[in-house]
Amino acid sequence: MGLERHLSQNLLKYGFNAGQLRFWLAHPMRAVPLLLTWVGLSWFALVALGVERAGAKGLLKNHHVLWIHTLNTIGAVLVPCIIIVYWHPDLLVSLLFMLVVLTLGMKLVSYAHVNHDLRVRPSPRSLPLLLSVPTTRIRVALTRRPS
C-alpha cells in the first residue's frame, strides 16, 4: 500500500519524464542502428536452428556444429557491442539492449549444449537409465549399513 502511494505522490509532484522520447524523436538517426540490430538479432537464433537441423540430418559433423555454434554466439554478442561502441547511443538504451543481447547469448549457449547432448546420446531408451543412475547410487549408499 505504501509503494503505490509513494509512486502516485511522485507522479503528481514531478510528473512523467518523457525526455528520452523527445530525444529519440529529435535524433532518430542515433536510434536506427540499434533498431536494425535489434531486429537482426533473430538471425543468430535462426542460424543456430539451421545448424542444429543440419547436424541432426548428418550434413555437418559434430565438431563443425560446435565451431559454428561458437562463432554464432560470439557474433551475437560482439556485433551489438561494436555497434554500441561506434554509434554511442544513450546509456539506458544501451543497457537494455545489452541485457537482451546477453540473454540471447546465454540462450544460444544453452541451446548448443542441450542439442549436443541430444545428438551424442546413443538411443532414446537410454535417457531414463541415465537419469536414474544417480538416484540408484544414492539409494544403494543409504541402504548399506556401516560395518
Sign, Cα dihedral of 39, 103, 94, 7: positive
Q: State pLDDT tens for residues 73-100.
A: 999 999 999 999 998 887 778 888 999 9
| pTM listed for this prediction | 0.66
What percentage of residues in the chain have a pLDDT greater than 90? Answer: 39
Q: Of 31, 71, 16, 78, whose CA–CA distance to 47 is shortest? A: 71
Grid coordinates representing 27 are 535524433
pLDDT at 107: 95
pLDDT at 103: 96
pLDDT at 118: 81
Containing 24, the helix (H) or strand (E) segment is helix 19-26
Name, in order, each residue with C-beta under 8 angstroms of 79's C-beta and a sequence gap of 6 or more.
37
Do the beta carbons of residue 78 and residue 103 sit within 8 Å? no
Q: What mean pLDDT, rounded, does the chain reach?
A: 78
All structural domains of the chain with their residue ranges: 44-116
